[in-house]
Amino acid sequence: MTTNRVQTSPNIVADEGARSAATTFGLNEPIVNCWCEHKRKPATTDYGFKFRLKSLKTTDYGFKFRLKSLKTTDYGFMFRLKSLKTTDYGFMFRLKSLKTTVFKVQDYDKPKPSPEIPDSNECHCGQANLGNRVVGGVTTEIHEYPWQAGISTHNGYLFCGGTLINNRYVITAAHCTRGRSASSLLVVLGEHDTSTDAEAKSVKVGVAAIIRHPSYDTLTNNNDIALLRLNKEIKFDYRMKPPCFTRPGFQYPGQEAVITGWGAVKQGGKVTGTLQEVSLPILPLDKCRQAYGNHLVSENMLCAGLPQGGRDSCQGDSGGPMVWEHKNRWHLIGIVSWGYGCARPHTPGVYTRVDKYLKWIDQNTRDANYC
């Protein structure tokens, strides 16, 4: 399985009962896509802020909110109340009854418990569409991983992968955007077989802006991450919805991850027309450094592969998702970045570690709504 992965020679899940959250939310949706823990009892924190929702009255829009005792922090959080929506650093509240409610919200860099939020029938992050597929197969089911995106030229050349993370942005590898302008790119969503529309009707969306990480290093591939701002909003459905994120600091070595893409299935092979998947164990960084050297493998990276080789991401998979399943939810933990060849013994694939960039992602996607 491959896309144009860069080749070179020798970035925690909440505790039990927790749900994930995101960056911009509607009031009538569940908290998903979060790197924060959620429990029933609020916890005091020196980070973030607290606010009291009091005297809720029915209006044409549902509720009128009066905010009391608002205290901001040095991080400069901001609220925008409009049609039952509030925007801060990415927390959403669903109110089911006319009761006085106190919330305390934490900065996600210092996760603390926060109130449990009732579930709803709205979109949930990280839900794959699993079918009766053959175990160990390499071809995915149609729409099995609905966050999968392809990046192509206007003439249909699909050269990199990506991940739909909210209704406005796709995340990919920075090296996939080198030498390219936003107007030259299309993002393909809901795709399965690029050679036909008979199985799955895909959606092609233009790109309004490319946001590369400011510290992306073209020599070492450190900070190999970029955001593509779409020129229109995406309506989530079974074909197109985002994965969850994990809270920073989780120890991934030993966990099994899944990488998906339209890349080649072997080194030097042709790019496949159908979406492929491969399952690989995540390795300690020291194993990766044994293969590539300390100077090339940073703490911003993850490595995955088998000692004997044989399975890997490859050319054409670049920018695509590395996801990890936890409690029946799939979490975006990596982005296909680089490696030496494909599926060679003792030469694992290298991935951008997504949880190292959550603050950067948040800061650059505040105009979007998460699932």
Q: Any idea where the domains of the chain sit in the sequence? A: 148-230, 244-355
Instruction: Inform me whether the pLDDT recorded for 83 exceeds 70.
Output: no
Is residue 242 within 8 A of residue 125, CB to CB? The reply is yes
* Measured distance CA(168)–CA(367) in Å, rounded: 8
Catalytic residue flag (residue 318): yes
* Measured distance CA(370)–CA(23) in Å, rounded: 6
Catalytic residue flag (residue 224): yes
Instruction: Inform me whether the pLDDT recorded for 93 exceeds 70.
Output: no
Class of domain 148-230: mainly beta
End-to-end CA distance of the chain: 29
Class of domain 244-355: mainly beta
Equal fold, 148-230 vs 244-355: yes
Catalytic residue flag (residue 237): no
Q: What is the pTM of this model?
A: 0.67
Q: Which of 152, 313, 318, 337 is catalytic?
A: 318
Is residue 13 within 8 A of residue 324, CB to CB? The reply is no
Encoded tokens for 230: 């779409």
Is residue 337 within 8 A of residue 213, CB to CB? The reply is no
Left, alpha or beta for 90 (phi > 0: left; psi -120 to 50: alpha)? left
Q: pLDDT > 90: what percent of the chain?
A: 49
Q: Which of 20, 124, 213, 224 is catalytic?
A: 224
| pLDDT digits 0-9 by tens, 299-310 | 999 999 988 776
Instruction: Inform me whether the pLDDT recorded for 97 exceeds 50.
Output: no
**Most confident segment among 70-84, 269-283, 353-367:** 353-367
Q: Which of 175, 192, 213, 331 is catalytic?
A: 175
DSSP conformational letter for 276: E
SS3 call for 22: coil
**pLDDT at residue 284 in the model:** 96
pLDDT band at 119 (very low <50, low <70, confident <90, very high): very low
